[in-house]
Amino acid sequence: VLKDHGFTQFSEAGTWADALNVPQGSLAAITVVLERGFVTKEYALITEQDVLGDRLVRSGRKRRKADAFIAEASQLTEGDLVVHLEHGIGRYESLETLTVGGAPHDCLRIIYSGNDKLFVPVENIEVLSRFGSETAGVQLDKLGGAAWQARKAKLKERIRDMAEQLINLAAQRQLKDAPQFIPPDGLYAEFCARFPYTETDDQMKAIDDTISDLAKGKPMDRLICGDVGFGKTEVAMRAAFTGAMTGMQVAVVVPTTLLARQHYKNFAERLAGFPLRVAQLSRLVAGKDAEKVKKGLEDGTVDVVVGTHALLAESIKFKNLGVLIIDEEQHFGVAHKERLKQIRAEVHVLTLSATPIPRTLQMALTGVRDLSIIATPPVDRLVVRTFVLPFDGVVVREAILRERFRGGQTFYVVPRLSDIDGVIDRIKDLIPEVTCAVAHGQMSPTQLENVMTAFAEGKFDVLLSTNIIESGLDMPRVNTIIIHRADMFGLSALYQLRGRVGRGKQRGYAYLTLPPERKPTAAAMKRLDVMQTLDSLGAGFSLASHDLDIRGAGNLLGDEQSGHIKEVGVELYQHLLEEAVAAAKARADEEAVVVSDEWSPQINTGAAVLIPDTYVKDLGARMSLYRRIATLADRAEIDAFAAELIDRFGDLPPEVENLLDIVSIKVLCRKANIEKIDAGPKGATVSLRNNTFPNPGGLVDFIARSAGTAKLRPDQKIVFIRPWETPQARIKGLQALMTQIAQMVA
């Protein structure tokens, strides 16, 4: 590049000192590990990225969001049950280095029924998927037995039917028309400017996706999955503003009265000054006022209504409902969801959730519903410190007093109403100097309203409540939460409760206490372990996949809760369903059906293929890298992955270079329908999958042109004669040969 611009006076420098010693006005080139340059009085350092822009765009990671998401909860550990595409359920025992063709090769050892062993080369690891967390009563399959294939075929049939119905549901929705909402430019910009924070990139993308859906004229059905406190409500506000300013009504349905109260205040505040009327409908609204709101919805004078499931009552009539926003949909029961289905036929639906229920999540992952993920935490957000411990009065006293000394407040949550009296007495004995308020769902609306207002104004140090505070409450001054009998809460509830603290710039603390005299159940301990491991910001998405993993997704179409996941495991089920949905979409579009990709080419070259333990010492990290390598889909992704390895672990050893080269050959083989290659010093034998090639005429011509160096054997295998003495020569030769053959397919 420098020569192109007329700079010829430059030399390559071996060290930093050499580079600084070049004559004034000339240039030195040096290799240093720096991404960005800088300028001093004496010299300017210009790096490759300053000149050429970012080195590599890692495009492959976004594309596999669903798979990467499920895989987060699916790291293989020794003793896990795994599912092999061809052989069924086995137990992963260990990673072993075998000698194959005179060279070391990492393989996974899988044990099947009757103690039969199967060794899977690491470059073919994608044929394995983890079975899931729930393994009680699961039988290992027999290696080479027919039972697995029969079971898989039967399940695929059922999944195919389900996929067709799902696509029909989505297609029927697309055939309907919905009002087109385009936000009024100047007013919309003014409304957005009232948002007191800086939008994160993910949040901005979710907003853009939602606004463009509203403008399409087809009913929107979008799930916004974002962690607690990551800004889902702002997406809802902008959708509500867009709908209401276009003259249609907007309904925001929330699970609790407290959340309805908070959302109503926020919406009313943000929409103040615009020609819109905002109303609230819940148990906290007096009967006379509620009647006025219902009348306003019917005659169209109420533009935006925020309410609990009271909004789903048969007596509620809307004049022209345009947008339905469902917050924390995991809290609504089957009956409520059936009512929502009736309402939502021709309206735009936006669903918000930090921890979507498995069924909702699965519909989003398979592409039946649109999905936006907000995974970036707001600026200055700190991780909530989480402690799981037997109840200890000294720890509780210290936690509450420390929060009080730093000017904050504490939530103390109990699982049952009957626990409140005992706990309040204990708090008074332990910490007589703090003031304590009580809130629960059986209080009268006025009492509850008064308590929450007083607590929000800082008149009490501790709010003792049931999990009525679980959903969406935003109180930035509350930064410590103590959960009494944490073993009695579900995973999603624990996660949501922890999300009530640490929402500002202060560090949040969560104490999950257990009864000291009683051992929790295995399932409860598993939930608490997950809570301690999910300590990163944005972990709600992982939690939902743990939930999908632990509970299963259920039947996506009916009210059955036990799906077919038990038969093949969560990852393979997800894969089969995605494939069936894609095939059903292709048929609906009258395109060629997507060919199933349930196979993995085998390549034997006699080269050492592994990540040495001297290069990556941690076994878990090596397994994780092997799983990622299996998902690399083209040369650009392989190069990006190689760059990441060099960045993290240093220069690539020859064995890792061989592994990445084998993966690039595998990509070409899949394109050319080549199932197996055996390469040696005199050439290679190539086996086609099902003895078919996408361009048979081109292949015959290629063999004819290669007279003397290529021939077709009677058993339909192709032999290529080449002088490939070393494994490296075989790898390089195969790359060139497979590139030629793959080009015939294109």
DSSP characters over 318-364: -SSEEEEEEESGGGS-HHHHHHHHHHGGGSEEEEEESS--HHHHHHH
- The whole-number average pLDDT for the span 139-145 is 84
User: What pLDDT was estimated at residue 560?
Assistant: 39
User: What pLDDT was estimated at residue 535?
Assistant: 57
User: What pLDDT was estimated at residue 410?
Assistant: 95
User: What pLDDT was estimated at residue 295?
Assistant: 93
Distance, CA of 28 to CA of 380 (rounded, Å): 41
Pick the more confident residue, 195 or 66: 195
Distance, CA of 602 to CA of 285 (rounded, Å): 68
**Which residues are within 8 A (CB) of 457 and not within 5 positions of it... i.e. 6 or more apart?**
none
Distance, CA of 240 to CA of 249 (rounded, Å): 9
User: What pLDDT was estimated at residue 68?
Assistant: 44
User: What tokens were used for 330?
Assistant: 């995991």
User: What pLDDT was estimated at residue 526?
Assistant: 76
Contact 327, 199 (CB under 8 A): no
User: What tokens were used for 137?
Assistant: 């009563």
Highest mean pLDDT out of 125-139, 551-565, 654-668: 654-668
DSSP one-letter string for 589-629:
TTPPPPPP-----EEE-S--BS--TTTS--HHHHHHHHHHH
Pick the more confident residue, 718 or 383: 718
Distance, CA of 615 to CA of 649 (rounded, Å): 7
User: What pLDDT was estimated at residue 264?
Assistant: 93
User: What pLDDT was estimated at residue 567?
Assistant: 60
User: What pLDDT was estimated at residue 277?
Assistant: 94
Cα atoms in the Cβ-side hemisphere of radius 13 Å centred on 467: 21
Highest mean pLDDT out of 158-167, 252-261, 409-418, 463-472: 409-418
Decide if pLDDT at 707 tops 80: no
Distance, CA of 167 to CA of 162 (rounded, Å): 9
Contact 479, 403 (CB under 8 A): yes
Would you place residue 99 in the very low, low, confident or very high pLDDT band (cuts 50, 70, 90)?
confident
Distance, CA of 546 to CA of 66 (rounded, Å): 14
Decide if pLDDT at 657 tops 60: yes
Pick the more confident residue, 554 or 739: 739
Distance, CA of 8 to CA of 2 (rounded, Å): 7
Pick the more confident residue, 345 or 661: 661
Distance, CA of 304 to CA of 277 (rounded, Å): 6
User: Nearest CA to 535 among 227, 232, 130, 197?
Assistant: 227
Pick the more confident residue, 578 or 92: 92
User: Nearest CA to 167 among 632, 583, 571?
Assistant: 583
Would you place residue 558 in the very low, low, confident or very high pLDDT band (cuts 50, 70, 90)?
very low
Distance, CA of 276 to CA of 220 (rounded, Å): 23
Chain mean pLDDT for the chain: 81
Report the 10 Å Cβ neighbour count for 30. Answer: 15
User: What pLDDT was estimated at residue 363?
Assistant: 60
Query: In the chain, what is the greatest distance between 2 CA atoms, to the nearest angstrom?
Result: 96
Decide if pLDDT at 698 tops 50: yes
User: Nearest CA to 688 among 720, 713, 664, 717?
Assistant: 717
Pick the more confident residue, 564 or 579: 579
Residue with tokens 């889909």: 633
Report the 10 Å Cβ neighbour count for 269. Answer: 10
Residue with tokens 């999908």: 548
Distance, CA of 375 to CA of 208 (rounded, Å): 16
Would you place residue 356 in the very low, low, confident or very high pLDDT band (cuts 50, 70, 90)?
low
The neighbouring-strand residues paired with 438 are: 464
User: What pLDDT was estimated at residue 271?
Assistant: 92
% of the chain surpassing 90 pLDDT: 27
Distance, CA of 163 to CA of 281 (rounded, Å): 38
Pick the more confident residue, 226 or 635: 635
Distance, CA of 540 to CA of 73 (rounded, Å): 12
Pick the more confident residue, 83 or 302: 302
Contact 108, 122 (CB under 8 A): yes
Distance, CA of 739 to CA of 669 (rounded, Å): 9
Q: What is the pTM of this model?
A: 0.59
User: What pLDDT was estimated at residue 62?
Assistant: 40
Q: 519-523, 580-584, 685-689 — which is least confidently predicted? A: 580-584
Residue with tokens 């935490």: 377
Q: 124-128, 326-330, 488-492, 551-555 — which is least confidently predicted? A: 551-555
Q: 275-284, 615-624, 661-670 — which is least confidently predicted? A: 615-624
**Which residues are within 8 A (CB) of 609 and not within 5 positions of it... i.e. 6 or more apart?**
103, 104, 105, 106, 121, 122, 123, 655, 658, 659, 662
Contact 178, 350 (CB under 8 A): no
Decide if pLDDT at 373 tops 90: no
Residue with tokens 């062993």: 117
Decide if pLDDT at 551 tops 70: no
Q: 412-426, 513-527, 672-686 — which is least confidently predicted? A: 513-527
- 149-207 pLDDT, tens per residue? 888 888 777 777 766 766 676 666 667 777 888 888 788 988 998 888 888 888 999 99
User: Nearest CA to 616 among 606, 634, 628, 605?
Assistant: 628
Strands lying side by side in the sheet with 88-100: 117-121, 103-111, 88-100, 81-84, 128-130
Pick the more confident residue, 527 or 508: 508
Highest mean pLDDT out of 205-219, 351-365, 594-608: 205-219
257: amino acid identity, one letter? T
- The whole-number average pLDDT for the span 211-228 is 84
Highest mean pLDDT out of 533-542, 550-559, 732-741: 732-741
Contact 227, 541 (CB under 8 A): yes
